[in-house]
A and B are shown apart, each in its own frame.
Chain A
Amino acid sequence: MSTPPALLPLQDEKSSGGSHGTPMLRVDELVVEYALGRGRVVHAVSGISFELARGETLGLVGESGSGKSSAARAVMQLPRPTSGRVRLGDTELTALDGRALQRERRRFQMIFQDPIASLNPRRRILDIVADPLAIQGEGSTDERRARVCEMLERVGIDATQALERRPHEFSGGQCQRISIARALILRPELLVCDEPVSALDVSVQAQILNLLEDLRETFGLTMLFISHNLAVVKRVSDRVAVMYLGKVCEIADAETIYRHPAHPYSRLLIEAIPEPDPDRLVARNRIAVAELPSPTAPPSGCRFRTRCPRAEPHCAENEPPLQVVAPGQLAACHFPHARTSQQRASTA
């Protein structure tokens, strides 16, 4: 896992739609570490690489501690990653100084899990949504106001009612709509969504997911969509990357991950999803009640081996590289599941 040459093509047989031209987002060997003091380090993200074509949505799934949110924030340069490269189109974000990065931020924006906490409770909705315009120095006060109104209407908020109000007067779903308006007001090319519907009720979740789909089409957004809920990710994503303990263990198009997961961990995640169908409680492969190992001391070799039903001694010694297991499907596993035996098991 040494640093690869700078512009090595990452995936020759790329499955994503627009493999022509420069990818919208390109992440190379991204590393995020947090110091805990006394020399201890949390290895949140340990060298991940991926690309997003323009207009593509990549889902990032994994359990808490998998590093998916850290990876998303590193893409946003919030904070900057410990090492690795993030390129947005032709701009290398990781090489920009603070001021240049600030200017570039209009091109990539983010929404968060807790819609209420991510809005300043003391400010009016007008100011909250106009803020990005003010920071980038765009338009007069009147122009900003007009743009805020337009964007609020687009996300389904009645602007005449909302402008002078404060976040606590809105429900969680409405606050998430307002966050989306704030994120999109600069017309970014890339939208990073970190668990945007996890805090919402099912019926509201459906509204927000539909809204994001509509906006993606309208604005031609490229999206990085983080969630622990694979059913949510699968529906919004073109491709899905599964993360475990700071590494990508599988990446493939959404339908493939669900129909033919190659990595035992992807399979485990899919089987754990509680589906609203009483006849379909999947007979799970019993996995040991082992919990996620500590990211301060990840296991040697394959990081998943301590919970893996297929682990062999070999897995402890050699870290499996992320390699092609089928066209458009990469998995980091010495013993990936073969396709033929991989129909989704369901018991009646």
Chain B
Amino acid sequence: MESLVPAPLLQVIDQHTAFVTSRGLLKAVDGVSLRLERRSTLGIVGESGSGKSILARSIMRLLPPSAVIGDSSRIVLDGHELGSLSERDLRRVRGRRMAIVFQNPMMSLNPVLTIGTQIGETLTHHLRLAKAVARQRSHDLLVAVGLPQPDVRIDQYPHQLSGGMRQRVAIAIALACEPALLIADEPTTALDVTVQAEILDLLQRLQRERDMAMILITHDLGVVAGRTDEVAVMYAGRIVEQAPTRALFRNARMPYTRALLASIPRLDDAGHSRLATIEGRPPDLIHAPRGCSFQPRCPRASDRCVREAPALTRSDGHACACWHPVSGEVRA
């Protein structure tokens, strides 16, 4: 595996994550490989059931015990293979080297502890800071994430904060130990548009200031549009297209990506016009269709698509898993 290319910050190698259900094995993540360079930003876009959140949890090794991980699957962060670490070492890596922000900050915040205590806990635990130092650092973090009135808020409980403020606190906790990788899993989905814009701006600023790499997971293509270096589109547990952000939006090759882009309402659209839709529904992840997973809904599907699943192949830095990719610009 040694090469002249410096090792990336994160490598996801052939990740398979499945769950045992009463109907059979549900393949939530079905063979995903990724590399993420230091200080770069990757958007992962997909609809519900595409496997994007399970991928995030697989990277963080935050999966329920019922999860079945593939034998050949590996997550390598900073040259360390996370699967080989003990739970204790893993806990050290989480927080210090990588951190995650979830959609619902109430899930990650403890309702009976003050904001200051929760950030301070992270600092005293991971960095062994003295309490007074930790409090000062907590305050600095609240300032950094733009929480209004940090002097007051630090002694308040999560329920006293609005949704946007809670998400700022969750971000402050994630950043407390200056991780090299921040995963934001639908960080703004529960927020109003104006607050969403502020939180996305904040994440972008912090990512640059702190030299972090960031994975931004969302169902909303608009969220990743101006804010990531690269975008990966997931469908039925796999990455079906990955490209530099501009190339993806300008020249999407996978019919699914194109259809998804066309189905978003835009402000420029004429009133009462009809949106392009994708026929059918996402596949059942227990009994996935043969061949390409998008094939049953795809207007370009051929016999080959039914027979053989296309591999994700890269040309000019633009990867796409499709036997009949589309060429040319999206929507002139």
Contact = CB atoms under 8 A, between A and B. Distances in A.
B324 to A, nearest CB: 20
Nearest to B218: A274
Interface in B159-196: 162, 164-165, 192-196
Given A238-B271, A254-B271, A202 B192 contact: no
Given A202-B47, A210-B275, A235-B273, A273 B246 contact: no
Interface stretch (B20-28, B114-122, B220-228): B220-228
Interface in A266-308: 268-281, 284, 287, 289-292
Interface in B246-300: 246, 249, 259-261, 263-267, 269-278, 281
Greatest chain A CB density within 10 A among B193, B219, B245, B276 is at B193
B131 to A, nearest CB: 28
Contact of B277 (A206, A238, A258): A206
Nearest to A290: B148
A64 interface: yes
A203 B260 contact: yes
B31 interface: no
Interface stretch (A87-95, A122-130, A224-232): A224-232
A292 B162 contact: yes
Interface residues of B, number: 45
A237 B265 CA distance: 13
B151 to A, nearest CB: 15
Interface in A182-218: 201-203, 205-207, 209-210, 213
Interface in A116-163: none
Contacts of B14: none
Nearest to B168: A289
Contacts of A213: 272, 274
Contact of B265 (A203, A235, A280): A235
B277 A235 contact: no
Interface in A230-265: 230-232, 234-238, 254-255, 258
B113 interface: no
B323 to A, nearest CB: 21
A207 B277 CA distance: 6
A268 B245 CA distance: 25
Contacts of B249: 276-278
A272 B263 contact: no
A292 B148 CA distance: 12
Given A202-B260, A210-B275, A275 B266 contact: yes
Nearest to B249: A278
B211 interface: no
Contacts of B221: 202, 276
Contacts of A232: 265
B275 A63 contact: no
A193 to B, nearest CB: 14
A102 interface: no
A280 B245 CA distance: 13
Contacts of A290: 148
B277 A289 contact: no
Interface of B: 47-48, 146, 148, 162, 164-165, 192-198, 200, 219-223, 225-227, 245-246, 249, 259-261, 263-267, 269-278, 281
Interface of A: 63-64, 171, 173, 201-203, 205-207, 209-210, 213, 228-232, 234-238, 254-255, 258, 268-281, 284, 287, 289-292
Given A202-B264, A228-B193, A231-B266, 8 more contacts: A202-B260, A203-B47, A205-B263, A213-B274, A235-B270, A238-B271, A278-B246, A281-B227
